[in-house]
Amino acid sequence: MNSKESEEIFDRGINYFRAGFYSSALNEFYQVKKISPDYPNIDYIIEAATKKNEEVAGQISNFIEENFDKEIQELSEELNYENSSHLGPRVQSLLKQGKFNEALKELKVAESIIPDSRPLLMLLGNTYRRLGMLDDAEQVLKRARVIYPEDSELLNNLGNIYMAKGMYIDAEEAYRTAMRSMHEDPRMLNNLGVLRMQTNNLDDAENLFRKAAKLRPQWKTPRKNLEHLAKRMEILEKNIEEIREEYRQHPNYLDIGLNLGKNLFFRGFYSEAKSVFRTILKKNQKLLAAWFYLASIYEINHNYDDAIDCYVELVRIAEKTNTSEYKNYENLKEQGFVEEAIAELKKVAVVELDIASSRINIGIKYFEDCLWVDALRHFEEAMRINNSYPDAYYWTALTLIQMKKSTKAKELLLKAIELNPNYADAYFQLGLLLKSRAKKQSIEYFKKALTLNLRPSFVKIVEQFLKEEKVS
């Protein structure tokens, strides 16, 4: 593939990232890495997406990671062929040291001699997975499944690969098949719980984690998952309560309604989320994000006809029906390959306007690590993509302040306020910026910030400053 195709895959990943489909985003970024290993900042972006995916999924350690050392030891001990007594220990040593590429070379040599070896295929699949080569891992484990169709450990690992790729239906089928011979197995229940979290069925996930914890009381993973899940549910429910009230007061502010729908979606309240998105679309048929989330709800619930209708409407509004991906979708659908058709359709059914916000998310990661130049590049790119996005100007200004470019930072903060007159944080930052050289202006900005929804930590700073200046 050429660089243009890498860029298209990258932007698709960015869209998934912005939409909250972090495992799908990761899969796209890994494809970019495989095609263009030197793609700008791809390692950092994969790291940032992985971090976000872990946060949203509850920082879950699934079966492969948790038991990897034990698993490679057991499998390596089985990995033998004529004149290869040192192969198992050598592979085991390389894997434990994290030298996955070197271990892969050894395993590929063994594959040419014992291609149907169960321990070889298991180790090969897991090593590919460790390297982020999910397609290769899937192919190896699918080949192993043909040879060992009822092997529960193999099915469990294959399910984990599918889940990492966002192929949730296939993941569930693998787990369910494995559970026929591992009935009530805590690992299977835990992995199904992870799957439910990834598809936002949080109540189901909670029940599965509780069951796994009850069956194996000493196992920490499901208990940790329950803790993180409880936090996630609490945050989402608090957001829903606050946004629902705000939307009730401002029913014509469709961005608030969209935010409500997104939070309902991520909480797994699909029925209410659908109702919100449909109401929004009655008022504005061209809101691409509403079509995207509505399609996602239908797809998660296996209602493929309605999912396709929504994705197609999104593509039609975005004027992308003349793309090769859309033509491929039409051909696949006509041949009856529905799931494959949806996968092709989703390559163009993306929310383009969200790319700017995604650039901001990545820029914030750089900002948090004090990498000002890299952060600035992403924030400026966000401004270029969407010049009406207040957050882009705000974060660019904050970065310029760190780079001692106060004059330009002030201009951008004022621009953010022009775009959003109720931007409390921007007023606060202006107050800070002018505190030592334009005290009167600084006080006015601080006082304005206090009349808005300023975060508590900033309120304390402002109140302390005004107290010191004896301003009532």
Q: Distance between CA atoms of 288 and 295, rounded to whole angstroms?
A: 11
Lowest mean pLDDT among 175-189, 233-247, 406-420: 175-189
Given a cut of 60, whether residue 460 has pLDDT beyond it is yes
Give start and end residues of each alpha helix (H) in 36-99: 42-56, 63-66, 68-78, 87-96
Model confidence, pTM: 0.59
What pLDDT is stored for residue 61 in this prediction? 35
Q: Distance between CA atoms of 393 and 43, rounded to whole angstroms?
A: 26
What pLDDT is stored for residue 160 in this prediction? 84
Asked whether the beta carbons of 132 and 100 are under 8 A apart, the reply is no
User: Residue 21: pLDDT band by 50, 70, 90 thresholds?
Assistant: low
Given a cut of 90, whether residue 117 has pLDDT beyond it is no
What top-level class would CATH report for the domain 63-231?
mainly alpha
User: What is the four-CA torsion angle of 136, 137, 138, 141, rounded to 10 degrees?
Assistant: 120
Q: How far is CA 17 from CA 10, 310, 358, 448, in A?
A: 10, 20, 7, 34
Q: Average the pLDDT over 26-44 and give the result.
A: 78
Residue with tokens 């549910």: 233
- Burial class of residue 18 in the structure, from the number of CB atoms within 10 Å of its CB (0-12 exposed, 13-18 middle, 19+ buried): buried
Lowest mean pLDDT among 50-54, 127-131, 192-196, 425-429: 50-54
Given a cut of 60, whether residue 188 has pLDDT beyond it is yes
Report the SS3 class of residue 394: helix
Residue with tokens 């396709």: 308
Task: Share the mean pLDDT of the chain.
Answer: 81
Residue with tokens 């009530």: 184
Provide the residue ranges of all domains of the chain, joining segments of one domain with +. 3-29+42-56, 63-231
Q: Which residues contact 27 (CB under 8 A, 6 or more apart)?
A: 13, 134, 164, 165, 166
What pLDDT is stored for residue 103 in this prediction? 78
Given a cut of 70, whether residue 54 has pLDDT beyond it is no
Asked whether the beta carbons of 279 and 288 are under 8 A apart, the reply is no
- Angle formed by the axes of helices 186-198 and 152-164, to 10°? 20
pLDDT tens-digit map of 331-376: 999 998 888 888 888 888 876 545 567 578 768 877 887 889 888 9
Please list the helix, strand and coil fractions of the chain in percent, rounded to the nearest 5, in that order. 75, 0, 25
Asked whether the beta carbons of 39 and 31 are under 8 A apart, the reply is no
What pLDDT is stored for residue 355 in this prediction? 57
Q: Average the pLDDT over 390-404 and give the result.
A: 92
- Please give the structure tokens belonging to residue 374: 């890299």
Per the model's pLDDT, the better-predicted residue between 436 and 279 turns out to be 279
Residue with tokens 């920490």: 220
370: left (phi over 0), alpha (psi -120 to 50) or beta: left
